[in-house]
Amino acid sequence: MTREKLRIGLFGYGCVGQGLHDVLNSSKGFKADIVRICVKDRSKKRRIPMSNFTFDKNDILNDPSINLVVELIDDAEEAFNIVSTALKSGKNVVTANKLMVATHFRELVEMQWKYKVSLLYEASAGASIPIIRNLEEYYDNELLHSLRGILNGTTNYILTKMYNEDREYADILKEAQEKGFAESKPALDVDGWDAKYKLCIITGHAYGLFLNPDEVFHYGISNVSRFDIRYAKEKGYKIKLVPYVGKTDDTTITSFVLPRFISADKYLYNVDNEYNGVITQAAFADKQFFSGKGAGGHATGSAVLSDISANSYGYKYEYKKFQQGTITKYTRDFKLEVYLRYKDEKDVELFGFEEVSEYFSSKFDKYVIGVVNLKNLYELREQLQSKDVFIVNTGRKVIETGT
Ligand SMILES: NC(=O)c1ccc[n+]([C@@H]2O[C@H](COP(=O)([O-])OP(=O)(O)OC[C@H]3O[C@@H](n4cnc5c(N)ncnc54)[C@H](OP(=O)(O)O)[C@@H]3O)[C@@H](O)[C@H]2O)c1
C-alpha cells in the first residue's frame, strides 16, 4: 500500500502533544510534517517558535492542505467539536481522549462510516499498550472470554506506595499531586472514571457493544485505608484497581471497575507504579498479558505516532465484533465475591449479601466477605462514595481467577 504524505494539524501542546513532537522528531524515517499547532493560552511560554502556533481552531480545520488532525487537548467537549468537524470535512483524526471517545462512542463510529474517514485512538485506552488494534485484528476470530487489567497509572502509583510505605491514602495522594503524577482534581482517576472510560472503549473493540459509560458500575480507591492494605498484605495480596469485561453466556457480557485482590502468582501483581497491564483470556490463545507505561508524554506519544503511521497506510477500525453481532446483550445481573470494610452495621444490610464466608469485628475495624450481586452495587453507586466503607473484588468464586 502506498503511504500518503501526512500534513498534520495538531491540537494541544501539553504533556502528550510535546511528547508526540519529540517522538516524531526522533523517528527519522517517518515523513510527517506538523503544519500547525492549535493551543489555548496566549501567555504561555513555548519551547518552539511561536510561528508554529495558532489560537484559532479554524486555521487547522479549514486548511485543505492538512489531511490529518491529531487531537490532544484536555477539554473533552471542545475535543468532540474539533473531532466531529474534522471528520465531517473529510479529514482523518487521531486522538488520545478517552472521555470524548467513550461518551460519544456510537456517534463517532457512525460519523466514520458516513463520511468515509478514519478515527484512531489507541492511546486513549492503554496509553503505550497496543490493545485496541490487537483486539480488532488479532482477536478477530478468537472467542474472547474476558479482559481485565490495570488501566490507570495514578491509582496504581498510589496503591503501590501505600503497599510499600504503609502510609495513608491522603498523604500519598498529596505527594503524587506535588510531583505531578496526580491531577489537582483527581476524582477522574481515583474514583475510577478514567478506568471506566477506557474499559468502555475496549469493550467496543472486544465485543462490539458501544456502552453508555453510565450503564457501567465503577468504584475507585478514594476510600482505601491502611487497614485494607495491611489486610491484603497479610493474606499475600496487593490491591489493584481492575476494570473487567467478560462474557456471561454466548450472547451477553458484563463489565465493572472495582479494586481487586491480586495474589503473587498473578501477572498483575508485579504491575506497579504508573505501569498498566492488560490480560486477555481467550478460548484458543488462552491467557495473554500486555504491560507498559500507562501515562507520560513520550509513552503516550508513541501510541499516537503508531496511529499516525497506521493512518498513513489507510488503516481504519472495522469494528469487526460489532459487524459480527455475536454479543447482543449487556447485564449487571452478575454475582461476585467482595470484601467490604465498614463501620456501621446498617451499611452491610444495604449490600444484600447472599453468602458470607468471613466476618471480622474489632473495636476499630470490621469487614465481611461474601457474595453480592453487581445489580445491588450499581443501585448503591451514588451513596457509596460518602459511606465509610471500602469494597474489593476478591476475584474468587464467580469470576474465574486468571490474573
Ligand atoms: N498525560 C498522559 O499521560 C495521557 C495519557 C493518555 C491519554 N491522555 C489524554 O491526552 C489528552 C491530552 O492530555 P495532556 O496530559 O497532554 O494534557 P495537558 O498537558 O493538560 O495539555 C493540554 C493541552 O491542550 C490545550 N488545550 C486545551 N483546551 C484547548 C482548546 N480549547 N483549544 C486548543 N488547545 C487547547 C492546552 O493549551 P495550552 O498549552 O495553551 O494550555 C494544552 O496544550 C487528554 O485527552 C488526556 O486524557 C493523556
Q: What is the pLDDT of residues 321-336, one digit of tens each?
A: 999 999 999 999 999 9
Q: What is the pLDDT of residue 300?
A: 93
Which atom number of ligand 1 is nearest to the Cα of residue 76? 45
Average pLDDT estimate for 33-54: 96
Tell how far the Cα of 74 is from the centroid of ligand 1, in angstroms: 4
Give the pLDDT band (50/70/90) at residue 2. Answer: low
Q: What is the pLDDT of residue 249?
A: 93
Q: Tell me the percentage of the chain whose pLDDT exceeds 90.
A: 87
Tell how far the Cα of 96 is from the centroid of ligand 1, in angstroms: 9
Looking at the annotation, which residues are catalytic? 198
Q: What is the pLDDT of residue 296?
A: 87
Instruction: Take residue 218 and report the three cell numbers written for it.
Output: 465503577
Task: Find out whether the beta carbon of 352 lies less than 6 Å from any atom of ligand 1.
Answer: no
Q: Is the pLDDT of residue 402 over 50?
A: no
Q: What is the pLDDT of residues 333-352, one digit of tens each?
A: 999 999 999 999 999 999 99
Q: In this structure, which residue's CA is closest to atom 26 in ligand 1?
A: 73
Task: Find out whether the beta carbon of 12 lies less than 6 Å from any atom of ligand 1.
Answer: yes
Task: Find out whether the beta carbon of 45 lies less than 6 Å from any atom of ligand 1.
Answer: no
Candidates 378, 381, 367; CA nearest to 334 is 378
Which atom number of ligand 1 is nearest to the Cα of residue 18? 16
> Taking the model in full, what pTM does it have?
0.96
Give the pLDDT band (50/70/90) at residue 398. Answer: low
Tell how far the Cα of 72 is from the centroid of ligand 1, in angstroms: 5
Q: In this structure, which residue's CA is closest to atom 18 in ligand 1?
A: 14
Q: What is the pLDDT of residues 202-218, one digit of tens each?
A: 999 999 999 999 999 99
Q: What is the largest CA-CA distance in the chain?
A: 71
Task: Find out whether the beta carbon of 78 lies less than 6 Å from any atom of ligand 1.
Answer: yes
Q: In this structure, which residue's CA is closest to atom 29 in ligand 1?
A: 40
Q: Is the pLDDT of residue 400 over 50?
A: no
Candidates 89, 63, 77; CA nearest to 10 is 63
Q: What is the pLDDT of residues 141-163, one digit of tens each?
A: 678 999 999 999 999 999 999 99
Give the pLDDT band (50/70/90) at residue 397. Answer: low
Task: Find out whether the beta carbon of 127 lies less than 6 Å from any atom of ligand 1.
Answer: yes
Instruction: Name which of 45-59, 125-139, 170-184, 276-290 the model is least confident about.
Output: 170-184
Contact 268, 166 (CB under 8 A): no
Q: Tell me the percentage of the chain whose pLDDT exceeds 70.
A: 97
Q: Is the pLDDT of residue 31 over 90?
A: no
Contact 224, 230 (CB under 8 A): no
- Which residues are CB-neighbours of 52 under 8 A, at least 6 positions away? 34, 36, 37, 46
Q: What is the pLDDT of residue 38?
A: 98
